Amino acid sequence: MEIQIPTGIKGKEELVVAFEDTAARYGSGLVEVYATPAMVALMEKTCLTSVLPFLPEGFGTVGVKVDITHSKATPVGMKVTCESTLVEVDRRRLVFELLASDEKGEIGRGRHERFVIDTRKFMEKL
């Protein structure tokens, strides 16, 4: 089955940083600021949800590569917004550019790759 996903698709997700999103909670640091792993998860979610409407039932995507910079700390209680743009489609490989911001400005940016999968077949191979 050939899946057509056009480049240029944009995604956007937001959250308010909670203690569960902090480096202290993730174990990736000792301070109570937005954790890099939490930012990466938000970035992946933003990319995933942006392309889901273009996938047939039973298909999804999995993340395979992340290249990001987390440039600024964000405290608990502040809103974080992630925006994605699908910049390349190579058969089942999807490449996104990402920008994460809080209420004061940019906090991170980068690129992320995902692959389109048939979920049932993918799980059978495990």
Q: What residues act catalytically? A: 36, 44, 70
Q: How far apart are CA 97 and CA 109, in angstroms?
A: 8
Alpha-carbon 112 to chain mean position: 7
- What letter does residue 49 receive in the DSSP assignment? H
Distance CA 19, CA 121 (A): 37
Cα separation, 85 vs 74, whole angstroms: 23
Question: On the CB side of 89, how many CA atoms lie within 13 Å of its CA?
Answer: 17
User: What's the angle, vertex CA 45, arms to CA 13 and CA 11, rounded to 5?
Assistant: 45
